[in-house]
């Protein structure tokens, strides 16, 4: 079937491959480049949906594996879908559960037909196939669903990787067929294919080309930043982007640090998700334009400054580093919320700045200068 194109490119940077785009979904439009906060279990950890709206988050990410395990996709469907269940009015992208093939390897058995898992919660067995992955995401009401894929471990042999790519392509074809048969695509939902191939250029290219031939609403790059060097990571993105259609969004899954995001935007990537902003917040680490700060460091004990002067979020406008350090050291839960607000805003604002510089021109010089400033000092991770 012909998959409708919901993506429009609004501006391009003349000095790089960066582009500013707009993706239309059932629950609103999303300007790209975009960072998507991760709400694996129907919640972005430590913050409310209202806080996310105040931060101007445009779209969030949920996870098929975890939500189907608990509380169950059928229960969520009866509550009106994930948007109603978690009171989030904006777009939602749901991962297929394919990453759990990688992260929960000891609990699964994989065949050409699908993946059998033992629950990490109670040991119960359940099954993910291309067809029921679509059914689950349909029940959740995802604006953007992901195909089932096999994320190869790193390092992996060429033969093992080739087997995984072949399986990924087979499942992508079956997911597309199921989405068409169930009316998922006709009703305005979108389905993204996922390019695999690890660090093998020919396998990445072949996978990207075959997925492009199938025709998806957008294309993701999986198996990125799973242990390979940063040089290999950017090479994988470069090979893949060159083979994907210009008029569809490109999404690198599970990445990364602020400099990595900017470099990938310069390569032509549009969408990102990553747990770093929320995870590091829960450990007392915050992002600034000069690198990260570990608030457990004693030098912040009497520091009257905000985390970042001039940043327009509740945390920076209201609290000193000294107070925030006190919360972190005292193990107060409020620290998780306030630092998460700041870190998410930092990422979302960085994407806003990127779009601005793409639109006005000069993104290349701006992003190289930004990265140089950020990396000029190591931050305080070990403080």
Catalytically active residues, by annotation: 95, 273
CA distances from 373 to 17, 135, 294, 349, 353 (A): 22, 46, 18, 16, 15
d(CA 207, CA 34): 24
The secondary structure of residue 300, as a DSSP letter, is G
d(CA 221, CA 30): 19
**Spatial contact of 256 and 236, defined as CB atoms under 8 Å apart:** no
d(CA 249, CA 6): 9
Q: In what order do the strands lie in the sheet with 218-221?
A: 34-36, 271-273, 250-252, 218-221, 190-195, 144-146, 92-95, 60-63
Detail the DSSP E strand segments found in 264-380: 271-273, 285-288, 291-294
Q: Which of 341, 336, 340, 335 is nearest to 322 (CA)?
A: 335
**Spatial contact of 76 and 67, defined as CB atoms under 8 Å apart:** yes
Residue where the block lists tokens 């996922």: 194
Q: Which of 240, 277, 237 is nearest to 257 (CA)?
A: 277
Q: Which residues contact 80 (CB under 8 A, 6 or more apart)?
A: 141
């Amino acid at each position: 079937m012909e998959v409708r194109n919901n993506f429009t490119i609004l501006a391009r940077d003349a000095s790089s491959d960066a582009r500013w785009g707009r993706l239309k979904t059932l629950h609103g439009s999303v300007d790209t480049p975009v960072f998507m906060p991760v709400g694996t279990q129907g919640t972005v950890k430590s913050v409310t949906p209202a806080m996310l709206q105040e931060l101007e988050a445009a779209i969030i990410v949920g996870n098929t594996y975890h939500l189907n395990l608990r509380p169950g996709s059928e229960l969520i469907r009866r509550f009106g879908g994930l948007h109603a269940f978690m009171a989030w009015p904006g777009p939602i992208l749901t991962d297929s559960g394919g990453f759990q093939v990688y992260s929960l390897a000891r609990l699964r058995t994989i065949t050409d037909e699908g993946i059998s898992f033992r629950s990490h919660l109670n040991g119960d067995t359940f099954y993910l196939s291309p067809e029921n992955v679509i059914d689950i995401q349909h029940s959740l009401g995802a604006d953007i669903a992901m195909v089932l894929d096999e994320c190869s471990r790193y390092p992996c042999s060429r033969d093992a990787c080739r087997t995984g790519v072949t399986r990924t392509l087979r499942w992508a074809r079956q997911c597309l067929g199921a989405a068409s048969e169930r009316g998922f695509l006709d009703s305005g939902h979108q389905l993204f294919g996922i390019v695999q191939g690890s660090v093998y250029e020919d396998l990445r290219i072949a996978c990207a080309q075959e997925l492009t031939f199938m025709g998806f609403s957008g294309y993701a790059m999986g198996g990125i930043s799973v242990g390979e060097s940063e040089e290999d990571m950017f090479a994988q993105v470069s090979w893949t982007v060159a083979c994907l259609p210009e008029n569809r969004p490109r999404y690198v899954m599970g990445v990364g640090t602020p400099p990595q995001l900017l470099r990938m935007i310069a390569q032509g990537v549009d969408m990102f998700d990553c747990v770093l902003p929320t995870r590091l917040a829960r450990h007392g680490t915050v992002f600034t334009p000069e690198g990260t700060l570990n608030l457990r460091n004693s030098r912040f004990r009497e520091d009257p400054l905000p985390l970042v002067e001039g940043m327009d979020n509740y945390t920076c406008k209201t609290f000193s580093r000294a107070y925030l350090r006190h919360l972190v050291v005292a193990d107060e839960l409020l620290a998780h919320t306030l630092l998460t607000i700041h870190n998410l805003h930092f990422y979302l604002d960085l994407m806003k700045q990127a779009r601005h510089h793409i639109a006005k021109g000069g993104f290349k010089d701006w992003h190289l200068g930004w990265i140089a400033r950020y990396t000029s000092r190591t931050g305080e991770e070990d403080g």
